[in-house]
Amino acid sequence: MPLKLEVADCDHLQKMVSESGDNIRKAQLLGQRDAQNSDIQLLRFTNIVDIETSFEVDSVSSNNRKYLVWKNTGEEVVLHFQGIISQLCVTPFLPDTPVVSTPDDAVFQDARAAEKAIQKFMWQYGGNPDRLILHDSTFGGIPALYADSKLLTAPSQLVGTTIPIPADMEEKSALTRICQDTKHRYTDDNAVNYFEWYCLSENTISLLPRSSGRAMRAGQLVDIGVTFRMLLGKRGDTRFISKLDSITIIDRSSAEKLADMKRNIGGTVTQTSPKKRKIEAEIISTEALFSNAQ
């Protein structure tokens, strides 16, 4: 699979996000209602007391990384939030996948506040307070949360087990070439899980696994799962990252709506480098998804 880069035009994105406000709120409501998801919503951890009670920081036998883990199990924490993809890169290089929501979205604002609180908590375990930088992330002036989605690891920084390149990757893609040259490794630590949401009932969400991110589009309403890490640099600097663990499609039709909006106004549809072929996938409508989320 070649590198896929999609960036939503900010003017059209702002209008589309505003019109999608009800769907975003319904998706957030479903996430909080579902028994399996309510306890792992990022917005639950704005309070430092809740963070200290639930989490701890562990190096997991790594010399240059620290991980946020659950106190009761020792497993790496994965927390979720919902919003609109404004930029997307599916394997292997581009580091960030920003997700946005409407400016008046209190749930999304709580998720952003929780990320800041987690960053402050983790910084007590090896960070430099003088270099602690917190700022409000935005994309085109819209509130945003960013997830690092880099899928390659230098041999000197290997933590996870090296795994075979996914079968649906093209034989001559950049990913396969770099891995064959042994400059980087593809590991289970870096692999991203892809799913699609299906609403079975008012309080139940079913996840349909996807083998790759071929169906992902800028403009889609998604659920994002992220982990939290600190990377310790050779020069003593420390970088906090929200690492992408999973992307789950909630509504595909929103990406189609964004593309139609651009065409009707005379704008360009997805901006892609001419050297990078855009991956096409069948677009299906999931309008019935929210029928029970009122």
The pLDDT assigned to 56 comes to 95
Asked, for residue 215, whether it belongs to a domain, the answer is yes
pTM reported for the whole predicted model: 0.78
Asked, for residue 179, whether it belongs to a domain, the answer is no
| 273 vs 255, residue with greater confidence | 255
The pLDDT assigned to 151 comes to 64
155-187 core/surface letters (b: 16 or more CB in 10 A; e: else): eeeebeeeeebeeebeeebbbbebbeeeebbbb
Asked, for residue 156, whether it belongs to a domain, the answer is no
Q: Is the pLDDT of residue 277 over 50?
A: no
Residue 41 per-residue DSSP state: B
Q: Is the pLDDT of residue 272 over 70?
A: no
Q: Distance (Å, rounded) from C-alpha 117 to C-alpha 134?
A: 10
Asked, for residue 95, whether it belongs to a domain, the answer is yes
- At 194-237, the pLDDT tens digits run 888 887 776 677 888 887 777 788 889 999 999 998 887 666 67
- HSE-up (13 A, CA, CB side) for residue 244: 31
Q: Distance (Å, rounded) from C-alpha 228 to C-alpha 148?
A: 10
Asked, for residue 187, whether it belongs to a domain, the answer is no
Q: Which value, to the nearest 10 degrees, does the dihedral of the CA atoms of residues 80, 84, 87, 90 take?
A: 50
Q: Distance (Å, rounded) from C-alpha 116 to C-alpha 195?
A: 27
The pLDDT assigned to 70 comes to 95
The pLDDT assigned to 133 comes to 56
Alpha helices for 71-147 (secondary structure H): 106-122
Q: Is the pLDDT of residue 292 over 60?
A: no
- At 16-57, the pLDDT tens digits run 888 888 989 988 888 887 756 788 999 999 999 999 999 999
Q: Distance (Å, rounded) from C-alpha 255 to C-alpha 121?
A: 36
Asked, for residue 171, whether it belongs to a domain, the answer is no
Asked, for residue 39, whether it belongs to a domain, the answer is yes
- The tally of domains found in the chain comes to 1
User: What amino acid is encoded at 47 in this protein?
Assistant: N
- At 190-206, the pLDDT tens digits run 778 888 888 777 667 78
Helix, strand, coil distribution of the chain in percent, nearest 5: 30, 30, 40
The pLDDT assigned to 121 comes to 92
The residue among 82, 84, 81 whose CA lies nearest residue 9 is 84
Q: How do strand 55-58 and strand 204-210 relate by DSSP bridges? A: unpaired
- Give residue 13's domain range: 4-151+192-290
| Range of lowest pLDDT (65-69, 91-95, 106-110, 246-250) | 91-95
Asked, for residue 133, whether it belongs to a domain, the answer is yes
Mean pLDDT computed over 124-139:
68
CB atoms within 10 A of CB 104: 10
